[in-house]
Structure 1
Amino acid sequence: MKKIILVSRNICSNITFSRYKSDSVRVRFAPSPTGYLHLGGLRTALYNFLFAKKYNGKFILRIEDTDQTRIVKGATDQIIKDLEWAGIEVDEGPSMGGSHGPYRQAQRLEIYRNQVEVLLKNGSAYHCFCTDKRLQLLRKEAVRAQEIPKYDNKCRHLSSEDVMTRLKRGDPSCIRFKVGFLE
């Protein structure tokens, strides 16, 4: 265990990031408990941990548990144990809390809903009612024309009345950011 950290610290010591202030570095590792920690995930956690420690920052563990149907029982606890086994010390996370919790994604949904409302109200986002079938057709047409597949902004300029009617009707929608210079 100590060997892994020592070797990795030597690797990290060769990297310099002078623009980072020692009190501002916050990195997170966000595994999904739909399975157990694999080597690639451990490597990512290790690099983030070493980066945070090099700059006296914080290493945060946030569990991506929004896909409740695929969660593997006991996976979160095992991920935490595996990080401890590797000598990766979590500064903030589901086990110990912290000032920016909650650290389980599913427990943050109300925070996200509130932020989505802010984005919708200030015009930075909009409801999109396009079906998966329509989006797949757009993609297929773009590929056939040898173009980069992209959304055509069909729902971007729907009237607020049309949006409310569709929402009241229960039409499924997603939220899209308004990007670009189409206004």
Structure 2
Amino acid sequence: FMVLAKTLLKDNLIMTGSVESTMRHTSNVLLENCRGELFVTCFLAMLDLTTGELRYVNAGHNPPVIIRADGGGAFLKDDPVQLVLAGWQNNPYRDSRIKLQPGDSIFLYTDGVTEARNEAGEFFGEKRELPGFVKEASEERSASECLKAVGDEIREFRGPAEQFDDLTMLMLRYRGNKLAQTGNDPAQT
């Protein structure tokens, strides 16, 4: 089912160039194939490397964390919250848009991160203020070093308790439009 979902997302995005259309088409095909027995949470985004505009749809996934280069860290919220893929026929997904500045980062994660438990049964997400924690972990670090620091903190918090779900994390750091900054014409490079 996940292979089908990933293939549909990729192919639909290439064909339409629209996160809204991609989500709607993918959701419809998944719903037809699973007959309401399965669903997928998904965060799909397209970043315009020239302008820094991030267009995204969050279909029931954990809200990503945006870390601004100038110091702020917050959840990237969708308004309204959108339905999971394969949840409803012809669901009208709507994209949200934000402008990234050079040095801004987006941190994506699965619920295994926030739902990691320690031996006392406490959830990592309840004991840590995630945007502030990720911002602190990212200071003076590369994206990969930040991910390692977050993973290490989760393992330390969990201790010997078993991890019941996957820990999947991704960090994107926008570097800005290097071609515009250097004055190079992409048609001549």
Give the TM-score range, shorter chain.
under 0.3
Identify, as 1 or 2, the structure richer in strand.
2
Q: Which structure has the higher relative contact order (CA within 8 Å, separation 6+)?
A: 2
Q: Normalising by the residue count of structure 1, what TM-score does the alignment of the two structures yield?
A: 0.20
> Is the radius of gyration larger for structure 1 or structure 2?
1
Which one has the bigger helix percentage?
A: 1
